[in-house]
Structure 1
């Protein structure tokens, strides 16, 4: 058994119980189970990567964990704290994926696919933001900024996948698709139509987004090792 296997098992068990408690409508237990997801994935990533991690990726794990902590605390500042945590995660991921984007060589034949992609993502973002949302936790302009950042991230990540369908970009594509689905159904459930299935889908895709994010990190790290480019720090 690999050294990273126990932490991966804990991740799947925690995810299963988070989803189960959601089905049983045990919100408190669901939040406790969900708070184990990121720490278990962090350990899995660290062990799988020979205890090496960049400051950037460590910050992403920290922000994701803080997001779950804010939700768990359920204090007055929780909504804004959770919102800002995931917004900064998207911004950091955008910076990482832009590096991939600049390293790939796109040609004229790719432009049609990318144009369709931009129009599709833009339409989805506009449609969601154009809904008559009620009971917003803070200024609508913040949701617009969030939507724009996620849209740009989606276009960059999916463009990378269109150009290179390698294992690295498959995982980044799946991560981003899960991000989109999670946030769309989160908005629909919390601010538009209080339908249980929306919240259930959001929970499942959020857990999957974390999983694919870690797989993307590991695949990208391996690619950098193969190319002789590594700026990681060791944790001992």
Structure 2
């Protein structure tokens, strides 16, 4: 067994338990198990990457953990605190993805694919935000900004995979797809129409997005290490 395997097992176990507790409507237990997920994934990443972590990635893990703390506390500032944490993560991920995006070369033939991708994601974002949302916890303009930033991250990540096709970008693409699904169903059950299935889909895709994010980080590190070795 690899040294990183136990922490990965803990992640899967706590994820399954959180889903089961949600089905049984044990909300306190759901929050408790969710608070273990990010630390277990961080340990998995740290061990898998030979106990090395960049400042940027450490901040991303920290922000996700703080978001879970805000959700657990359920104080008046929880909504804004959780919102800002996730928004900051998306911005940092854009910063990471943009570095790879700059290296890509696009031709005129790519124009149609890029247009369809941008139009499709923008249409999804517009459709969700155009719903008659009720009892919003924050100003509507903040959700619009959130949707735009997530859309930009998704477009860049998907284009990275389309043009490069590496396993790292594949995980980044899946990560963004899970982000989109998570946030869509969160908005639907929170502010539009409560449905138990919506909450489960949101939770499952949220956990999946964490997993794909860690795989993306690890694969990116492998590529970077290989490039360093080949340069010598």
Paired position in structure 2 for 1:223: 223
Paired position in structure 2 for 1:34: 34
Distance 1:152 1:39 in 2: 28
CA offset at residue 188 of structure 1?
0.3
Contact 1:182 1:201 in 2 (8 A): yes
Q: Any idea what the Cα deviations from partners look like across 1:138-176, whole Å, max 9, x if unmatched?
A: 111100100100011111111111112210111000000
Paired position in structure 1 for 2:177: 177
Q: Any idea what the Cα deviations from partners look like across 1:45-87, whole Å, max 9, x if unmatched?
A: 0000001111000000000000111000111111110010000
Q: Any idea what the Cα deviations from partners look like across 1:102-125, whole Å, max 9, x if unmatched?
A: 122222222211110000001001
Distance 1:80 1:201 in 2: 23
Larger relative contact order (CA 8 Å, sep ≥ 6): 1
Aligned structure 1 segments of 4 or more residues deviating by more than 6 angstroms: none
**Gaps in structure 1 of 5+ consecutive residues:** 230-236
The 3-state SS of whatever aligns with 1:76 is coil
Paired position in structure 2 for 1:203: 203
> Number of residue pairs matched?
229
Contact 1:70 1:82 in 2 (8 A): yes
Contact 1:110 1:163 in 2 (8 A): no
Distance 1:102 1:144 in 2: 26
Distance 1:97 1:60 in 2: 14
TM (norm. structure 2) is 0.97
**Gaps in structure 2 of 5+ consecutive residues:** none
Give the superposed CA RMSD. Answer: 0.9
Structure 2 counterparts to residues 18-167 of structure 1, below 5 A: 18-167=18-167
TM (norm. structure 1) is 0.95
